[in-house]
């Protein structure tokens, strides 16, 4: 029997596996200390009344092998939606078998089907295997952009600051 890759949308039953994939990704990216996701938080944000993201599960010979977690963003210049790939992860023992490529191809197909202008994602600058893989697919790094982020304490501090929203910018 030949090896097979199958892709499917995640369902609530997959939450423990999704969390295990997220934790595996956090370890690989040397960010396990920052991973605070729980089964309950995933249940609420992926399958609750207002889902914020979608997940595709990749199975290798019927066993979970990896996942892609994504959501829609929007291009004002193109006045069209896009898909942002937040996480792509394949079990280390199954890498090199086309699973990651199959997940990306599925997302690209969804982007086309949904009328999206683009599919984009970020990659850590030290992750040369991923960068080489993405470039081999024809993806181009967007080096003219710098990502900024407010999180946790800085997000709350900014929200609670006494500076009015219409104050002059220095």
Residues 6+ apart with CB under 8 A from 124: 29, 130
pLDDT tens digits, 11-68: 999 999 999 999 999 999 999 999 999 999 999 999 999 999 999 999 999 999 999 9
pTM value surpassing 0.75: yes
As a whole number of angstroms, the distance between CA 61 and CA 3 comes to 6
Q: Give me the architecture of the 5-142 domain, per CATH.
A: 3-Layer(aba) Sandwich (3.40)
89 assigned to active site: no
For the chain, give every domain's residue range: 5-142
pLDDT tens digits, 86-142: 999 999 999 999 999 999 999 999 999 999 999 999 999 999 999 999 999 999 999
The CA-atom distances, in angstroms, between 154 and each of 33, 66, 151, 159 are 18, 33, 6, 8
- Of 28, 84, 89, 134, the active-site residue reads 134
| Residue (of 161, 87, 73, 153) closest to 124 by Cα position | 87
pLDDT tens digits, 96-110: 999 999 999 999 999
């Amino acid at each position: 029997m030949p090896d097979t890759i199958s892709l499917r949308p995640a369902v609530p039953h997959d939450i423990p596996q999704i969390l295990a994939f997220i934790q595996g990704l956090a370890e690989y990216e040397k960010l396990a200390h920052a991973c605070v996701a729980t089964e309950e938080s995933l249940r609420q944000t992926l399958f609750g009344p207002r889902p914020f993201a979608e997940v595709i599960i990749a199975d290798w010979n019927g066993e979970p092998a990896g996942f892609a977690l994504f959501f829609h963003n929007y291009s004002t210049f193109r006045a069209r939606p896009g898909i942002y790939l937040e996480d792509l992860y394949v079990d280390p023992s199954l890498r090199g078998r086309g699973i990651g490529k199959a997940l990306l191809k599925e997302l690209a197909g969804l982007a086309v089907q949904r009328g999206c202008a683009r599919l984009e994602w970020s990659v850590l600058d030290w992750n040369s295997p991923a960068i080489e893989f993405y470039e081999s697919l024809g993806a181009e790094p967007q080096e003219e952009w710098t990502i900024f982020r407010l999180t946790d304490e800085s997000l709350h501090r900014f929200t609670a600051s006494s500076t009015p929203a219409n104050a002059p910018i220095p």
